[in-house]
């Protein structure tokens, strides 16, 4: 099986070297690399043209967003497997081989999650597949936990972080690629939820290791840009993907999530960015509502089945958070109560 590796880039010259050099060291070599440069001004394009001439470079004069970039990269290729990769990653030499092996061994799986580890503290997990909070956001399973036996077994998970995600091209052709109205953030959550509603399955490949810096492009995990887009796209996910019956059923947990998100925003002095994201959602909601009608019309699992999938995914989130807190000697009383009442 051949792989198209799609890497979006925006002023990531200092990151691209490690990423692309790790690809050169892969034991699996049947791949092509497509880099989409989103208007970089740091010499990224010149680096690629001079040092990595085999890379297929798509270059734009301005930043058109993550979703638009990766969609262009996907469409530029033709291989049966598409591997999305952030520019702030480095792959273990057997990563691609393990991903391909999983795709061949488990034909019933449609997309695959690598084991993402912290770039600087490589015994710490960045994520072992993605889970889901019914409040409308994703969560990387095991994030900030020490890697160990619990995360060394491959298994089915809810979805995958687009920072290191392998997709069968036929699945993307069937359900669609990333929603370009999201620009960036939670676009992979939207795709994960959409895939699950169409009966698609995701497999976590514990043997495939990717080392991830995290938030290297935006500079920090919490800033005006991330808060604004995360707020807007959280509501986009809810409006676009939740049948009305599930909006009613999960209203309590949606309210709980929104309350704690707003408290976090206040704590980080990001209320203006939050309001900007909320306003952007309201302005663009007619367009998202139109997509909702088409999206829900293609749902193949029942609402009760989709609810069960969401419940299992959130249970994985709570278990992961509780394990991390327990490892730090912190209590889990509130999470235990939440789990008992709502899960």
pLDDT of residue 220: 54
Please list the ranges in the chain whose pLDDT falls under 70.
215-220
Q: Hey, what domains does the chain have and what are their CATH numbers?
A: 3-212 (3.90.550.10), 224-342 (no CATH)
Give the helix ranges, DSSP H, for the chain: 13-24, 44-51, 66-76, 95-105, 169-175, 187-197, 224-241, 244-249, 251-267, 271-297, 303-327, 333-342
pTM over 0.85: yes
Residue 49 structure tokens:
């043209």
Q: Which residues contact 88 (CB under 8 A, 6 or more apart)?
A: 12, 15, 19, 119, 212, 213, 214, 216, 217
What are the pLDDT digits (tens) for 25-36?
999 999 999 999
Distance CA(53)–CA(157), nearest Å, equals 37
pLDDT of residue 218: 45
pLDDT of residue 215: 58
Which H/E stretch holds residue 60? strand 56-60
Q: What are phi and psi of 8, to 5 degrees?
A: -80, 145
Q: Name the residue among 36, 91, 40 with its Cα closest to residue 58.
A: 36
Let me know if 85 is exposed, middle or buried by CB neighbors in 10 A (0-12, 13-18, 19+).
buried
What are the pLDDT digits (tens) for 232-270?
999 999 999 999 999 999 999 999 999 999 999 999 999
């Amino acid at each position: 099986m051949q792989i198209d590796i799609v890497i979006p880039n925006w002023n990531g010259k200092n990151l691209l070297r490690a990423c692309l050099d790790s690809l050169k060291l892969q034991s699996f070599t049947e791949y092509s690399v497509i880099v989409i440069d989103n208007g970089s001004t740091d010499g990224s394009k010149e680096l690629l043209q001079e040092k990595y001439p085999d890379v297929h470079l798509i270059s734009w004069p301005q930043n058109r967003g993550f979703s638009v970039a990766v969609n262009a990269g996907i469409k530029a290729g033709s291989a049966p497997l598409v591997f999305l990769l952030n520019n702030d990653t480095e792959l273990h030499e057997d990563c691609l081989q393990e991903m391909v092996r999983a795709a061949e061994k488990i034909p019933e799986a449609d997309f695959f999650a690598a084991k993402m580890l912290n770039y600087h503290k490589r015994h710490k997990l960045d994520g072992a597949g993605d889970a889901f909070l019914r409040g409308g956001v994703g969560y990387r399973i095991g994030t900030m936990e020490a890697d160990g036996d619990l995360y060394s077994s491959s298994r089915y998970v809810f979805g995958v972080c687009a920072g290191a995600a392998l997709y069968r091209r036929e699945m993307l052709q069937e359900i669609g690629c990333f929603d370009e109205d999201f620009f960036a953030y939670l676009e992979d959550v939207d795709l994960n939820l959409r895939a699950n509603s169409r009966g698609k399955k995701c497999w976590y490949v514990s043997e495939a290791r990717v080392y991830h810096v995290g938030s290297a492009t935006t500079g920090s995990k919490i800033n005006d840009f991330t808060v604004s887009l995360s707020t807007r796209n959280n509501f986009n996910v809810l409006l676009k993907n939740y049948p009305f019956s599930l909006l009613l059923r999960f209203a309590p947990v949606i309210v709980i999530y929104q309350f704690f998100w707003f408290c976090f925003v206040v704590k980080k002095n990001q209320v203006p960015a939050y309001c900007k994201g909320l306003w952007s959602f309201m302005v663009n909601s007619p367009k998202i509502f139109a997509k909702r009608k088409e999206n829900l019309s293609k749902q193949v699992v029942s609402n009760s089945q989709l609810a069960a999938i969401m419940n299992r995914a959130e249970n994985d989130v709570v278990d992961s958070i509780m394990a991390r807190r327990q490892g730090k000697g912190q209590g889990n009383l509130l999470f235990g109560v939440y789990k008992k009442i709502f899960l």
